[in-house]
Amino acid sequence: MSVTNQHQEDEETLPQKNFTEELAILRKALTKVIERNAEKAKRITARYGWIHVHQAARYIELLSMDDLEKILETKPLKTIRTNTLLTTRDRLIERLEAKGLLVKEYKPTPYGIIVEHTPIPIGALHEYMLGLYTIQGPASMLAVLAQEPEQANRVLDMCAGAGIKTTQIAQHNNRAKIIALDINNRKLLALKNNLSRLHVDNVVAINMDAREAPKLGKFDSILLDAPCSGEGLIPYPAKTRPRTIDDILTRVHLQLQLLDAALSTARRSAIIIYTTCSMSFEENEYVIDTLLKKRGDFEIEQPRIPGEPGRTSYAGLRTDPSLARCRRLFPHIHRTEGFTICKLRKT
Amino acid sequence: MQTKKNIEYKHCNKKTKVSLSKFISECLGLSLEELLRDKELVCREKERSIDIYVARKNLVEELSTMQNKGLTPFTVGIHVVRLRGEKLVPLLGLAAIIRLENKIPPPRGYVVINTRAEKLFLYGRDVFGENVAEVRTPECKENYVLVLNQLHDPLGWGRLLRRQNTIYIQNIIDAGWYLRSGV
């Protein structure tokens, strides 16, 4: 890279975009959705009382009443991720079967295992304590597979939490410098323990707001597992919180700021994976499309993972056609938690 | 945002390296160099203790860059040992590093326990001699031993004690801690 190009890249301004207009447009569209689907939404929430009538209305608009009911009735597969730094999937399956578990390969991944039956809680087995596996949902595993961080030198995990995806990145590339951020100290304590349990020695974790990530310099590969509504878990009453459109708009605002920061932190040609455990258009395609219109310095690529195409229209809003390259995962189609995974490349 | 005083990570000093090297050599019969092939030691000094971490060399360079920007990392690499004055306490991370370097079992300083004892040890209990299938005595005054199961998975650290005509493994730390820690 020439000195001039390097200088230009380093001089890129910190993200300070104002998204007021885009949030106002979204609010207007959602208000109409709530009104239009009010009756149907009430019928849904009468049966499935743990979701808010706003959520029901939004998903009836996005999918259909029939699909929404199927989602609410389908429990995703229970899966674990083999820690390939220590063992192989086959060897782990052998050990688990010897302890009376009924398991099989989760084929979309090279290390996922479906747990069909276990006589002991899956988080209490010795193999878990010894770091031979960690508990991870099937769709969650696909985000890092989409990222393909094997050749990256410097990798950023912007909202690392307890480090489940951070340690997965390390399995793909245990020589890269992996920087993990989280705003929550308690989650970083869990991350620290997971690094030790899973034998990962190439991560440094920082307690910081990921919106300030551009201070860390440029990265070759970025994972933004953005804080979201968690609507991908709506089949589980205990794991779901009712969300109004105000809750959604608050999250969308944060997601816009985080993705803006991610794009400012990415080197030219870097990959950014934007992912949420949500099936909503607002928190996924709308966020990416907004940044595409405001910045225009990235493209959307189709990741090499299963899933339905991204949505390019919803509630009267239309996105760039390239948003169809995102991948959407649904409980009733893929037997995974609801997830959206988009692969972006900085240009 | 840090609310406590920011404590820096830095290269461990010679005295700390010598203490750790001595422990690894005398207790386990290994050398620090063979465990640190492409890694480095990083220390974090607190008021009464020093926390020692092992991380990849390229990550340690990253650490300096960050600290120069006024950022204090929460953690780096794997936390392997805590030094309290002259007393060295091995942590689960040290067993992880030994395993990553394929040094299990080490030349000395380990015990292999049976399945029944494995369950008890991982619950934080001590191990009685009749449940010890194999023992290789350490040559350090602390008498620390790496506790292994019959598949040679490292379960944690113990202290080898002798009572009357039998041995007894006092639980120092075990992998069940990951569940009990509440984090």
pLDDT tens, A204-232? Answer: 999 999 999 999 999 999 999 999 999 99
Which one of B2, B56, B175 has the shortest CB-CB distance to A129? Answer: B175
For residue B1, give the chain A residue with the closest CA: A208
CB-based contact A154:A218 (threshold 8 Å): yes
In this prediction, residue A4 carries a pLDDT of 36
pLDDT tens, A129-185? Answer: 999 999 999 999 999 999 999 999 999 999 999 999 999 999 999 999 999 999 999
Residues A303-331, mean pLDDT to the nearest whole number: 97
ipTM of the complex: 0.94
In this prediction, residue A17 carries a pLDDT of 75
Is any Cβ of chain A less than 8 angstroms from the Cβ of B132? no
Is the predicted pLDDT of residue A259 greater than 60, yes or no? yes
Is the predicted pLDDT of residue A11 greater than 50, yes or no? no
**pLDDT-wise least confident of A13-22, A191-200, B11-20:** A13-22
How many other C-beta atoms lie within 10 A of the C-beta of residue A85? 18
Is any Cβ of chain B less than 8 angstroms from the Cβ of A224? no
- Distance CA(A64)–CA(A187), nearest Å, equals 36
Indicate the pLDDT class of residue A16, thresholds 50, 70 and 90: low
- Distance CA(A340)–CA(A307), nearest Å, equals 9
Across chain B, where does the E strand assignment appear?
Answer: 9-11, 39-45, 50-56, 73-76, 78-84, 87-90, 110-113, 127-128, 132-136, 144-148, 154-163, 166-174
Is any Cβ of chain B less than 8 angstroms from the Cβ of A206? yes
CB-CB neighbors (< 8 A) of A196 in chain B: 78-79, 91-93, 96
Q: Which residue has the tokens 């650490």?
A: B63
In this prediction, residue A93 carries a pLDDT of 98
Is any Cβ of chain A less than 8 angstroms from the Cβ of B135? no
Average pLDDT, chain B: 92
Indicate the pLDDT class of residue A12, thresholds 50, 70 and 90: low
Is any Cβ of chain A less than 8 angstroms from the Cβ of B62? yes
How many other C-beta atoms lie within 10 A of the C-beta of residue B181? 10
Is the predicted pLDDT of residue A306 greater than 80, yes or no? yes
Which residues does A3 contact at the CB level (< 8 Å), separation at least 6? Answer: none
Which one of A126, A132, A188 has the shortest CB-CB distance to B75? Answer: A188
Which one of A129, A175, A195 has the shortest CB-CB distance to B75? Answer: A195
Is the predicted pLDDT of residue A3 greater than 60, yes or no? no
In this prediction, residue B65 carries a pLDDT of 87
Angstroms from A106 CA to nearest CA on chain B: 25
Which one of B66, B72, B78 has the shortest CB-CB distance to A196? Answer: B78
Residues A307-313, mean pLDDT to the nearest whole number: 98
CB-based contact A261:A214 (threshold 8 Å): yes
Is any Cβ of chain A less than 8 angstroms from the Cβ of B7? no
Which residues does A22 contact at the CB level (< 8 Å), separation at least 6? Answer: A256, A286, A290
Q: Which of A85, A125, A126, A167 to probe the B interface (max B CBs under 10 A)? A: A126
Which one of B54, B72, B118 has the shortest CB-CB distance to A201? Answer: B54
Q: What order of strands is seen across the sheet that includes strand B9-11?
A: B9-11, B39-45, B50-56, B78-84, B87-90
For residue A206, give the chain B residue with the closest CA: B73
Is the predicted pLDDT of residue A330 greater than 90, yes or no? yes
pLDDT tens, B133-180? Answer: 999 999 999 999 999 999 999 999 999 999 888 899 999 999 999 999
Is any Cβ of chain A less than 8 angstroms from the Cβ of B42? no
Residues B94-107, mean pLDDT to the nearest whole number: 95
Contact A206 B72 (CB under 8 A): yes
In this prediction, residue B6 carries a pLDDT of 62
Sign of CA dihedral A149, A150, A151, A156: positive
- Distance CA(A159)–CA(A223), nearest Å, equals 8
Is any Cβ of chain A less than 8 angstroms from the Cβ of B91? yes
Helical (H) or strand (E) element with A206: strand A203-207
In this prediction, residue A5 carries a pLDDT of 40
Angstroms from B23 CA to nearest CA on chain A: 20
Contact B154 A207 (CB under 8 A): no
Q: What order of strands is seen across the sheet that includes strand B127-128?
A: B127-128, B166-174, B154-163, B144-148, B110-113, B132-136
Structure tokens that stand for A167 in this block = 């340690």
Contact A199 B100 (CB under 8 A): yes
CB-based contact B40:B54 (threshold 8 Å): yes
Is any Cβ of chain B less than 8 angstroms from the Cβ of A17? no
Average pLDDT, chain A: 94
Angstroms from A6 CA to nearest CA on chain B: 18
Active site residue A277: yes
A104 secondary structure, DSSP code: E
